[in-house]
Amino acid sequence: MLPSPSPSLSLPVSLSHLLLITPSIIIHFCVWARRANMDSLGLFILLMLQCFQWTAAHAAEDITWTYKGMVGQTEWSEYFLDCGGTSQSPVDVVTTQTKYDPSLIPLTPLGYDQHGNSPFTLYNNGHTAVIDLPEWMGIGGLPWFFTAVQLHLHWGSGGPSHGGSEHTINGQSADAELHVVHYNSELYPNMSTAMTKRDGLAVLGILIVTGEETNPAFNNVLNYLSRIRHADQKAYIPAFDIKSLLPSDLGRYYRYNGSLTTPPCYQSVIWSVFHERVQISKAQLLRMETLLYSSKSEEPDRMLLQDNYRATQPLNHRVVFASFSAESGRELSSGEVTAIVIGVMCGCVGLAVIVRFIVKTIRIKEPEKAKEIKQDTALNSTAAGEKKEEPSLSLQTDP
Ligand SMILES: *[C@@H]1O[C@H](CO)[C@@H](O)[C@H](O)[C@H]1NC(C)=O
Ligand SMILES: *[C@@H]1O[C@H](CO)[C@@H](O)[C@H](O)[C@H]1NC(C)=O
């Protein structure tokens, strides 16, 4: 969906700004240095060094990206090169095109239920609500051990059945999506090093749909959103079992190589998107969609934090693997059930017709066979009769 830009067109914005303003800086500085009668070269070098330091520190991360608007998702790749890459996330999982990989074993959350006594930190980063996770939590079942870092949510704005998830299955969105982020602590010392490396991160994707029942586990997060309504706000919340947010079936999932779904979109994520969705109530979804602002508390214009999901990205040459054989594990739609019922009925009628035909042909042939048998027995009996009669005849003739 996003065109990959040519490198020359996509310098970080601060750098291109700098290139534009450099000539005027030089001219102004020379004028000023002459007036001040200073060692202009020395000062100029100092100034330029500071300028570059500032640029390096503020490049990219200084840009406020959003989902829609000036630096919306279609513009991300102009400022963050990787966002225009060929292995981006999220993707649409087309189940008939997934490849069953029997080596994909169930994922095992480790220490998710050992939350200790210290509270969790929940904060609004202007893009989503985040909970930092303690470093003793991790995930097993991947080629390396991955240590938990944080979890966050993505949602929409239109209530149930109006999108909000990042990943889609057969083109269908869920209402929201939970991401639990981990880094490869076997290969890398920390998150910041791992996040730029291939195989550096492992993210669990949990699709969230709405139903009638309240999901008490999600209230461990949703009940505290009112404390972090504005961007940069932070709250300490009681620790809880993170495993309770996950679906019960951790054995069935889709696996592919992808990226962070927000800038800088590093292509460093081993994705596991669970087949089973978790369910929350409509009221819970409404709280998720309407409580937070993307604007800071001091900003006069309040901006609701909504539709913080990225559009699906092209798979390009990637394969999505499934830990389960998609056909056998699939739930049947009502259409498919109808098709199967009609198919079975047609089959039964067909079988009945065939059976009737066979029975009829046997019945037609039976009288003929019966005649043949009767004739045979008749012949035999007459022959036997003749034979029996012979001795009696001789007996009669003897005396
Ligand atoms: C991460 O590890 C690298 C390499 O050891 C180190 O230079 C860097 O400061 C660390 N970053 C953080 C945030 O700890
Ligand atoms: C991801 O990429 C690595 C390295 O290129 C490769 O070995 C692995 O099979 C890929 N995994 C998936 C699920 O495509």
User: Per residue in 149-190, pLDDT tens?
Assistant: 999 999 999 999 999 999 999 999 999 999 999 999 999 999
Cβ atoms of 165 and 177 closer than 8 Å: yes
Pairing of strands 201-211, 269-274: parallel
Domains in the chain, number: 2
Listed residue (127, 175, 181, 128) closest to 150, CA to CA: 181
SS3 392: helix
- pLDDT for the residue 284: 98
pLDDT at 190: 97
Distance CA 338, CA 319 (A): 32
141 and 281 both lie in a single domain: yes
The two structure tokens encoding residue 34: 């002459």
7 lines ligand 1 (CB under 6 A): no
CATH classification at residue 256: 3.10.200.10
**Residue 68 belongs to a domain:** no
Hey, which residues are catalytic here?
127
Q: Hunting for tokens 């630096």 — which residue is that?
A: 71
Percent of the chain with pLDDT over 70: 71
Q: Are residues 130 and 230 in the same domain?
A: yes
Whether 349 is covered by a domain: the verdict is no
Give the residue, 234 or 37, on which the prediction is more confident: 234
Instruction: Tell me the C-alpha distance between 53 and 49, whole Å.
Output: 6
pTM: 0.72
**Phi, psi values for residue 258, rounded to 5°:** -145, -145
Cβ neighbours, 10 Å, residue 245: 23
Q: What is the pLDDT of residues 80-128, one digit of tens each?
A: 999 999 999 999 999 999 999 999 999 999 999 887 889 999 999 999 9
Q: Is the minimum distance from the CB of 257 to ligand 2 under 6 angstroms?
A: yes
Q: If you take atom 5 of ligand 2, which residue's CA is the nearest one?
A: 198
Find out whether 171 and 236 touch, Cβ atoms under 8 Å.
Answer: no
In angstroms, what CA-CA distances link 80 with 9, 232, 258? 12, 22, 16
For a pLDDT cut of 90, what percent of the chain falls above it?
A: 63
The answer to whether residues 41 and 161 belong to one domain is no
Domain assignment of residue 127, yes or no = yes
Instruction: Dump strand ranges (E) for the chain.
Output: 92-93, 99-100, 108-110, 120-124, 129-132, 138-140, 146-155, 168-169, 172-173, 176-184, 201-211, 234-237, 253-258, 269-274, 278-281, 321-322
Q: Which of 290, 306, 325 is a domain's end point?
A: 325
pLDDT > 90? residue 53 = no
Q: Which residue out of 150, 193, 196 has the highest number of ligand 1 atoms within 8 Å of its CB and is therefore the one to mutate?
A: 193
In whole angstroms, what is the distance from residue 71 CA to residue 81 CA?
13
- First-to-last alpha carbon distance for the chain, in angstroms, is 120
Shortest-distance ligand to the CA of residue 193 = 1
Q: Which one of 259, 292, 325 terminates a domain?
A: 325
Please tell me the least confidently modeled range out of 341-345, 373-377, 389-393: 389-393
Residues 313 and 220 in one domain: yes
29 found inside a domain: yes
Question: Residue 298 Cα, ligand 1 centroid: separation in angstroms?
Answer: 33
- For 70-136, where are the E strands, in sequence order? 92-93, 99-100, 108-110, 120-124, 129-132
Rounded to the nearest 10 degrees, the angle between the axes of helix 40-58 and helix 13-36 is: 160
pLDDT (0 to 100) of residue 382 = 46
Asked if residue 372 is part of any domain, the answer here is no
**Ligand 1: which of 61, 132, 188, 190 to mutate, most ligand atoms within 8 Å of CB?**
190
> Same domain for 47 and 140?
no
Q: Name the residue among 153, 253, 147 with its Cα closest to residue 195.
A: 147
**How would residue 37 be classed by pLDDT, with cut points 50, 70 and 90?**
low
**pLDDT value of residue 184:** 98
The mean per-residue pLDDT over the stretch 268-279 comes to: 98
pLDDT mean across residues, the chain = 82
CA distance 98 to 321: 5
Please check whether residue 366 lies inside any domain of the structure: no
Give the number of other Cβ atoms within 10 Å of residue 119's Cβ: 13
Question: Is 188 close to ligand 1, i.e. is its CB under 6 Å away?
Answer: no
Q: Are 37 and 102 part of one and the same domain?
A: no
In a domain, 395, yes or no: no
Q: For residue 327, is pLDDT > 80?
A: no
Residues 235 and 120 both lie in one domain: yes
Q: Which residues have CB under 8 Å from 297's CB, separation 6+?
A: 229, 230, 231, 232, 233
CB 235 within 8 A of CB 291: no
Pair (109, 240) in one structural domain: yes
Q: How much distance in Å is there from the Cα of 150 to the middle of ligand 1?
A: 18
* β 146-155/138-140 pair status: antiparallel
Phi, psi angle pair for 333, to nearest 5° = -80, 165
pLDDT (0 to 100) of residue 216: 98
* Distance from C-alpha of 182 to C-alpha of 225, rounded to nearest angstrom: 23
Ligand closest to 187 (CA) is 1
**Domain final residue pick, 325, 341, 372:** 325
Q: Which of 101, 104, 257 to mutate to test the pocket of ligand 2 (most atoms within 8 A of CB)?
A: 257
User: Are residues 54 and 124 both part of a single domain?
Assistant: no
Domain that holds residue 43: 15-59
Do 112 and 218 have their domain in common? yes
Confidence tier at 357 by pLDDT (50, 70, 90) = confident
In a domain? residue 364: no
Same domain? For 247 and 317 the reply is yes
Please indicate, yes or no, whether residues 210 and 284 belong to a single structural domain of this protein.
Answer: yes
CA-based Rg of the chain, rounded to a whole angstrom?
37
Check whether 57 has a pLDDT greater than 80: no
Residue 372 pLDDT: 52
pLDDT exceeds 90 at position 67: yes
